[in-house]
């Protein structure tokens, strides 16, 4: 892990070393780790619910905060996905609209302000 990137020091070092502040624009998408949790399947068997998430953050200052808060965001998402899996009836599909709304609320609460848009990749129950 590059700790300088988390503190924003890597960008400052790159600007001073190159002499200019030019370069390619930073991508606004940040992919977060996949969230997995246990779920009850039909017939009493256990299964796994997997949710892939990412954040689109056009604001550079908020993007730095997202990178620094990635472990806290992952923990908040794990709580939301676990609660969603606990409410899931065996054999029923997950309620994606509710899940996305709860994950977006957890994002805003964790970051302390709105501005980062949650993007869902794959939601799978196996």
Tell me if 116 is assigned to some domain: yes
Tell me if 120 is assigned to some domain: yes
Tell me if 64 is assigned to some domain: yes
Token pair, residue 78, equals: 């794990």
- The CATH number linked to 102 is 3.30.479
Tell me if 55 is assigned to some domain: yes
Is pTM beyond 0.85 here?
no
The DSSP call for residue 43 is G
Residue 110, domain extent: 28-125
Q: Is 110 left (phi over 0), alpha (psi -120 to 50) or beta?
A: alpha
Q: What tens digit of pLDDT does each residue of 24-82 get?
A: 566 899 999 999 999 988 888 899 999 999 999 999 999 999 999 999 999 999 999 99
Q: How many domains does the chain have?
A: 1
User: Residue 21: its pLDDT value, please?
Assistant: 53
């Amino acid at each position: 892990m590059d700790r300088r990137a988390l503190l924003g020091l890597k960008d400052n070092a790159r600007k001073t070393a190159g002499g200019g502040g030019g370069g390619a624009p930073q991508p606004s998408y940040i992919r977060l780790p996949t969230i997995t949790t246990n779920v009850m399947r039909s017939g009493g068997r256990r299964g796994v619910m997997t949710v892939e998430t990412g954040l689109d953050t056009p604001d550079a200052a908020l993007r730095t905060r997202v990178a620094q808060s990635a472990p806290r965001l992952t923990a908040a998402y794990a709580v939301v996905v676990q609660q969603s899996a606990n409410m899931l009836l065996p054999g029923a599909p997950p309620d994606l609209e509710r899940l996305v709304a709860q994950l977006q609320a957890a994002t805003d609460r964790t970051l302390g302000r709105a501005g980062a848009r949650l993007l869902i990749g794959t939601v799978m129950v196996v």
